Amino acid sequence: MASRPRTLYEKIWDAHEVERREDGTSILFIDRHLVHEVTSPQAFEALRLSGRKVRRPELTLAVPDHNLPTTARIDAAGKRIPIADVESAQQLAALERNAPEFGVRYIGPTDINQGIVHVVGPETGFSLPGATIVCGDSHTSCHGGVGALAFGIGTSEVEHVLATQTLLLKQSKTMEIRVEGELLPGVTAKDLILHIIGVIGTAGGTGHVIEYRGKVFEDMSIESRLTVCNMSIEGGARAGLVAPDEKTFAYLKGREYAPRGEDWERAVAWWSSLRTDEGATFDKSVVINAADVQPTVTWGTSPEDTVAIGGVVPAPESFADPSKQKAAQASLDYMGLTPGQKMTDIEVQNIFIGSCTNSRIEDLRAAAKVLKGRKKADNVKWAIVVPGSGLVKHQAEEEGLDKIFIEAGLEWREPGCSACLGMNPDKVPAGERCASTSNRNFVGRQGPGARTHLVSPAMAAAAAVTGRLTDVRELVD
Amino acid sequence: MEPVRQVEGRAYPFGMKNVDTDIIIPAHWLKTISRDGLGRGAFEALRKDPANVFDRDDVKGAPIIVAGDNFGCGSSREHAAWALLDMGVKAVIAPSFSDIFSGNAFKNGILTVVLPQEAIDRLMEVAETDPITIDLESQTVTTPFQDRFTFEIDSFRKHCLLEGLDEVGLTLARGDAISAYEARQAKDMPWFAKGTALAA
């Protein structure tokens, strides 16, 4: 095609354009579609009503995650325990009915492969570099960590993909986030992405697809890249991605749905060409100095409300924009914080380690490293660790991480979305705080009146130990 | 989908910035398998305040919301669009919208009208006492006070809204082009074509 230098995003887009209409709208082919129980019932119902079928059932994978309780799923007799909440049970039942009816592969609640869609996709090799991946969930941006173009869609689009295996879209603008230098010791991918969102704001990436560039991302593990890309949507970008490399290929090789034999060789050859060309230009470019990034936490009710752990709660007047001043005041009222208060003086009563952002094995290892041989503080009333999938859970148990958590006084749970959004019974009580490794600190996100501080897994573990937001570097080297 | 040409009536002078979809419809309302009835949960947390704009007698049931920057950010839940529709909202006017929300709104026939902050400030004043008219054909927002603001809209979306077109039907009509792509992909990138058929 065109010989002009192209970005990674443009290369993936070009390889999937079925046709472009005169008005600039394209039909884009979708390689992988993940479906969960919350945003799919109305889409399957629409297909049923219009007598349409799923065009390519083998390109869709259905996994329940949002509603599932994270308590035991099988009783002593080996029987599946039904979900007590009537509506949650009904939503699960709808997916269990729809998947086989439309010929879609389904991973049920007691299957070891069950987990959060965004954990399951990469770890089963369903998510591949250079693929177009969609799901009725905004954190689909996550899969950009393996070099895919992945983005969240609404239920009408879920229906569109099921029926046509395509979407009608206009090409997005491109945005480069280049991080220069190296991260300081004790600073993680989560701290970096929180810092980035603090810099660009929650609308900073609107209309754009972000490519994360620089040595920091090249040096990162795939799981850390997934964490970074996961929160692209919190910066307003529907998708974010990191160029696939040898690490990506090594991560995927041999996984259940990853290509094999000659297909694998051919795939790697093409994937290796998926990098932004020398001389390609981005519509927007942001440069971050890695050395500026400290362990980072949020103080307010928007993911852009970030501050270094050594910092203080900001005063609303410190913001130039009058509407931001107003929003900051409302956030402080909701969060029960006062300007000037030291972040490390904020006590937390709840700890949540989990979510599609931070529930992979590396995340659990990072938390366990801090918790090993320690106990949670007495003021921490509720602390749960929710692995991202059955496979992660199994791996963690092999490594004895579950014992470390339990001995420290944390609960070891079954996989799912859990307290990230509290659609299942895992909620933070009104007025209480939670140091949470999830992705959104919105008003009421973890339960009505709940106060969320977004942190990394190591920082959540540190908060569990001291009972307040804490610089993890004080506890471990 | 019903064709959309004009939205006229009172507007909620909301004005809030960064309205996320958890504010529009909290997660516990997402446990439905239907698209209907979500209006009851719309803006639930804000409506606990008796002085909230959505329960103000003179604007209750208004078809338009005037809001601040970055409306609909956060989750991809289409329930946000369904909730607005269920409470009778057919258009939102704001300086900017999140990408996913504006797509969801469009697919449900809700207009997302982008106007600069100055226009929003003026419409917030008008909305306190008087109706607003949005005309899609001429791409204008007008008030009884001779205010007239023009807005941009994607030509494909405008066409679909005016004609009430079903996107799935439109794309299915291009089935041959999709088949041709699939044949190319099966040859050039066979590893994508197998999907879950590769299961051990």
Q: What are the DSSP calls for A202-247, one per residue? A: TTTTTTEEEEEESHHHHHS-HHHHHHHHHGGGGGT-SEEE----HH
Measured between alpha carbons, how far is A359 from A415 in angstroms, rounded to an integer? 9
Tens of pLDDT along A12-36?
Answer: 999 999 999 989 999 999 999 999 9
Nearest alpha-carbon partner for A104 in A94, A95, A112, A113: A95
Range A37-41 average pLDDT = 97
Tens of pLDDT along B91-135?
Answer: 999 999 999 999 999 999 999 999 999 999 999 999 999 999 999
ipTM of predicted complex: 0.94
Chosen from B47, B121, B192 to mutate, greatest number of chain A CBs within 10 A: B192
B195 to A59: CB separation less than 8 angstroms, yes or no: yes
3 state SS of A295: coil
Q: Which residue of A has its CA nearest to B180?
A: A18
Within the 114-143 window of chain A, which residues sit less than 8 Å (CB to CB) from chain B?
A: 126, 128, 131, 136-138, 140
Measured between alpha carbons, how far is A196 from A9 in angstroms, rounded to an integer? 20
Within the 181-220 window of chain A, which residues sit less than 8 Å (CB to CB) from chain B?
A: 202-203, 206-207
Q: Is B177 within 8 Å of chain A by CB?
A: yes
Range A345-370 average pLDDT = 98
pLDDT interval class at B200 (50, 70, 90): low
Fold of A8-169: Aconitase; domain 3 (3.30.499)
**A229 touches A144 (CB < 8 A):** yes
Residue indicated by tokens 């699939």: B182
Measured between alpha carbons, how far is A263 from A267 in angstroms, rounded to an integer? 6
Q: Which tokens hold the place of A446?
A: 């973890």
β-strands B140-142, B148-150 pairing:
antiparallel
pLDDT at A1 over 60: no
Tens of pLDDT along A84-97?
Answer: 999 999 999 999 99
A202 to B73: CB separation less than 8 angstroms, yes or no: yes
Q: Is B162 within 8 Å of chain A by CB?
A: no
Cβ-Cβ contacts under 8 Å between A and B: the total is: 212
Tens of pLDDT along A129-177?
Answer: 999 999 999 999 999 999 999 999 999 999 999 999 999 999 999 999 9
Q: Is B22 within 8 Å of chain A by CB?
A: yes
Element containing residue A321 per DSSP (H, E): none
Q: Which of B28, B96, B189 sits opposite A270 (nearest CB)?
A: B189
**What is the pLDDT, as a whole number, of residue A76?**
95
Greatest Cα pair distance in chain A: 64
A325 burial type by CB count under 10 A (0-12 exposed, 13-18 middle, 19+ buried): middle
Range A236-240 average pLDDT = 97
Tens of pLDDT along B42-78?
Answer: 999 999 999 999 999 999 999 999 999 999 999 999 9
Element containing residue B8 per DSSP (H, E): strand B6-9
Tens of pLDDT along A271-281?
Answer: 999 999 999 99
Query: Over pLDDT 90: what percentage of chain A?
Result: 97
Query: Over pLDDT 70: what percentage of chain A?
Result: 100
Contact partners, residue A103, CB within 8 Å, separation at least 6: A53, A54, A57
B17 to A327: CB separation less than 8 angstroms, yes or no: yes
Chosen from A173, A206, A357 to mutate, greatest number of chain B CBs within 10 A: A206
Q: What are the residue ranges spanned by the domains of chain A?
A: 8-169, 296-474
State in words which class domain A296-474 has.
alpha beta
Contacts of A273 in chain B (CB under 8 A): none
Contact partners, residue A125, CB within 8 Å, separation at least 6: A252, A254, A255, A256, A257, A258
pLDDT interval class at A477 (50, 70, 90): confident
**What is the pLDDT, as a whole number, of residue B1?**
80
Q: Which residue of A has its CA nearest to B183?
A: A18
Q: Is B184 within 8 Å of chain A by CB?
A: no
pLDDT interval class at B198 (50, 70, 90): confident
Within the 348-407 window of chain A, which residues sit less than 8 Å (CB to CB) from chain B?
A: none
Q: Is A331 within 8 Å of chain B by CB?
A: no
pLDDT interval class at A343 (50, 70, 90): very high
Mean pLDDT (chain A) is: 97
Domain at B6-163, CATH from 3.40.190.10, 3.20.20.70, 3.10.450.50, 3.20.19.10: 3.20.19.10
**What is the pLDDT, as a whole number, of residue B199?**
74
Q: Is B47 within 8 Å of chain A by CB?
A: no
**What is the pLDDT, as a whole number, of residue A3?**
75
Q: What is the DSSP string of A93-147?
A: HHHHHHHHHTT-EE--TTSTT-B-HHHHHHHTT-S-TT-EEEESSGGGGGGGGGT
**What is the pLDDT, as a whole number, of residue B2?**
87
pLDDT at A2 over 70: no
Q: Is B30 within 8 Å of chain A by CB?
A: yes
